[in-house]
């Protein structure tokens, strides 16, 4: 189960990161940094990067089941 969440979070992170890099083209349109951050904050797919990173971190750092012998 933990591997499933790790891979899902990784997929979300990759998708969100690619979106952020793709939207760097707004600089070519003559917009500045503030315009870029306002633009990506309005795009829902850009929220996949922090959500995916959180899922990966939780799947790694949350303790699993403790099995008694």
Does the structure show a pLDDT above 90 at 66? no
Question: pLDDT at position 64, please?
Answer: 74
Q: How confident is the model at residue 67, as a pLDDT? A: 65
Say what the pLDDT of residue 1 is: 86
**Coil, helix or strand at residue 64:** coil
Residue 68 scores a pLDDT above 60:
no
**Structural domain boundaries of the chain?**
2-60
Grouping H, G, I as helix, E, B as strand and the rest as coil, residue 31 is coil
Q: In this predicted model, what pLDDT tens digit does every residue of 9-50 receive, in sequence order?
A: 999 999 999 999 999 998 888 889 999 999 999 999 999 999
Token code pair at residue 62 = 């949350």
């Amino acid at each position: 189960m933990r591997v499933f969440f790790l891979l899902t979070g990784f997929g979300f992170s990759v998708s969100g990161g690619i979106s952020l890099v793709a939207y760097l083209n707004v600089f070519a349109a003559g917009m500045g940094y503030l315009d870029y951050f306002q633009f990506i904050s309005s795009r829902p797919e850009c929220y996949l990067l922090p959500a995916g990173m959180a899922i990966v971190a939780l799947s790694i750092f949350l303790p699993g089941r403790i099995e008694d012998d």
